[in-house]
Structure 1
Amino acid sequence: MRTLFLLNPTAGKADCTRTLPQQINVAAARAGLAPEEYTIQVTNHAGHARELANAAAQQARQSGEELRVFTAGGDGTFNEALTGIYGYANAAVGCLPFGSGNDFLRTFGTKEEFLDLDAQLAGGPVSIDLMQTSLGLSATICAAGLDAQVAYGIPKFRRIPLCGGEMAYVLSIVEQLCGHIGRRVEYTIDGETLDVDCLMCAICNGRTYGGGFCAAPEAQPDDGWLDVYIIRKVSRVTIAKLLGMYKSGKHFQNGQLVRAAEPYFIYRRAKQVSLRAADGRGPIVATADGECAPKEQITVQVQPLAGRILLPKPALERFAAQRTAQSADRT
């Protein structure tokens, strides 16, 4: 087995390359890895993690080896590596959370578990669904509307001292609420067409985005379904009331919207979703795993069990236990 560590020095507020390589060397020795069995590389431009992961996956396949890729960065770095190994059954990607948001891991465990190098090296791979979107491959959530507009404003707030991922997200929301909000959008959800005056929508494989906002509290990343949440256009006062519910995931419980959320949310489970602006005001801004772009039309389709990820040992054991329990329930 080959192990590759990809370190992004620009992710988050601190350069992980200053101390992490030595920590990796110590953990690798404790795990019994010989120096020739693992490699540490530093990314130096956008897309570099994808290139390095893809090259390593090709080489490992040619030599008949399994490949583990651990990305030290944020969700964007993880997504790049996941895209790089896409289609390689011999490779899997894990996340060392050194970014600002680190939303991917929240579906599976805690940041502390994913920062534990011993637990990471003692863990293993699982298969999850992926989403093929108009912005590329995604493991978590593709959002459009106010969410994506907010994402444009996050970088400038992150430069403020002590303003991390969640706080930067909140401040960017406040800024957007001071401008024009809401769009009329046409949705096609597994053949059903909806014309909605909406604030935003989230098409979810994972549970959180935006530094911890729990859009899909019961999403299962390996069930072959997308959880779709559309938030109707509402007043600014109502947005403020909804924000706490949406952030904590209290809008959805036991497989359905809670009563307080029903007037404001539309919920569907789907295999494929597409949406386009129906108000003549130009493209809609969309975001997927940190990537943002204006699009005339956004399409998202589930790719069942198309991704292989690495989980640290505690998260791996919980994931396996949950799958076993769900299988028993179905029988």
Structure 2
Amino acid sequence: AQIPIAIVPAGTGNALALQYNLLSVRDAADKILRGHPTPLDVLHVTQQHSTTCCINIAGWGAATDINITAEKLRCLGRSRYSVAALLQILNPPVRSASITLDDRSIDGPFLFAVACNTRFAGHRMLLAPDAHCDDGLLDVLLLRPTSRWNLLKVFHGIADGSHRNLPGIEYLQGRSITIRTSSPDPLNLDGEISGTTPITATVLPAALRLLT
């Protein structure tokens, strides 16, 4: 039988902890003592020369660029993510990719593609409002090239999830996503820069059990 694991919100964003409303060490301790095992999906990530797993997100494009820039701005504390996003809005790089979501092919220019297992990413960004960690599905956000004004609204809307209905955003669901690019692009796996495209991320349903 699987041994259940517990989480303690001690990171920067605490995306998985937020998913289960674990806002403090006291909340986490309560779940460790009195919680019930809950199925937790995991993303199995295959890259050209390696495989790994992650729990929150697998991101490409601006989702990676912002993280790289934010790492250079650690002196700004948590506000570094907002500053990094603003810099991205001022000069948004457009990339071409071939994306396959299950049996659906989606090609063209994008600003980002993010496969989410959790609702939250980064520092309290409600990136995928409909995401559940136990449904066997990825919630996938694609952002097409758009105006700087609309891009500002998208990044502002991520704070409360209102971005999903804005122009340029495609919100999809599937069990497996593949991203191919003409040259290797860096990837964001659970907030860490890890590997490059091409990438395939596939849901492993109920791979873990979490005390909630």
Is the contact between residue 113 and residue 119 of structure 1 (CA under 8 Å) also seen in structure 2?
no
1:273 has 2:177 as partner: yes
Match of 2:33 among 114, 121, 137: 121
Match of 1:226 among 130, 138, 143: 138
- Which position in structure 2 is the counterpart of 1:71? none
- Which position in structure 1 is the counterpart of 2:2? 90
1:301 has 2:205 as partner: no
Query: Cα gap change, 1:219/1:296 in structure 2, threshold over 3 Å: closer, same or farther?
Result: closer
Describe how 1:1-331 pairs up with structure 2 within 5 A. 89-112=1-24, 115-134=27-46, 136-160=52-76, 163-164=77-78, 167-179=79-91, 181-252=93-164, 258=165, 261=166, 263-277=167-181, 280=182, 282-311=183-212
**How high is the TM-score relative to the length of structure 2?**
0.88
What SS is found at the alignment partner of 1:300? strand
Residues in 1 aligned to 2:195 and 2:31: alpha-carbon distance in whole angstroms = 39
Instruction: Structure 2 unaligned segments of length 5 or more: list them.
Output: none
Percentage identity across paired residues of the two chains:
26
Query: Cα gap change, 1:96/1:274 in structure 2, threshold over 3 Å: closer, same or farther?
Result: same
Residues in 1 aligned to 2:89 and 2:12: alpha-carbon distance in whole angstroms = 23
Query: Cα gap change, 1:114/1:268 in structure 2, threshold over 3 Å: closer, same or farther?
Result: farther
Is the contact between residue 271 and residue 301 of structure 1 (CA under 8 Å) also seen in structure 2?
yes
Equivalent pairs counted in the alignment come to 208
Residues in 1 aligned to 2:188 and 2:170: alpha-carbon distance in whole angstroms = 20
Displacement after TM superposition at 1:266 (Å): 1.6
- C-alpha RMSD of the superposition: 2.0
Larger deviation: 138-147 or 116-125?
A: 116-125
Displacement after TM superposition at 1:294 (Å): 4.4
Instruction: Structure 1 unaligned segments of length 5 or more: list them.
Output: 1-88, 253-257, 312-331
Cα deviations by residue, 1:63-113 (Å, 9 ceiling, x for unpaired): xxxxxxxxxxxxxxxxxxxxxxxxxx3322211111111111111114137
Displacement after TM superposition at 1:115 (Å): 4.4
Residues in 1 aligned to 2:23 and 2:57: alpha-carbon distance in whole angstroms = 19
Query: Cα gap change, 1:93/1:238 in structure 2, threshold over 3 Å: closer, same or farther?
Result: same
Residues in 1 aligned to 2:92 and 2:142: alpha-carbon distance in whole angstroms = 18
Residues in 1 aligned to 2:64 and 2:14: alpha-carbon distance in whole angstroms = 17
Letter in 1 for 2:180: R
Displacement after TM superposition at 1:292 (Å): 1.1
Greater helix proportion: 1
Is the contact between residue 206 and residue 220 of structure 1 (CA under 8 Å) also seen in structure 2?
yes
Is the contact between residue 276 and residue 284 of structure 1 (CA under 8 Å) also seen in structure 2?
no
What SS is found at the alignment partner of 2:73? helix
Is the contact between residue 89 and residue 152 of structure 2 (CA under 8 Å) also seen in structure 1?
no
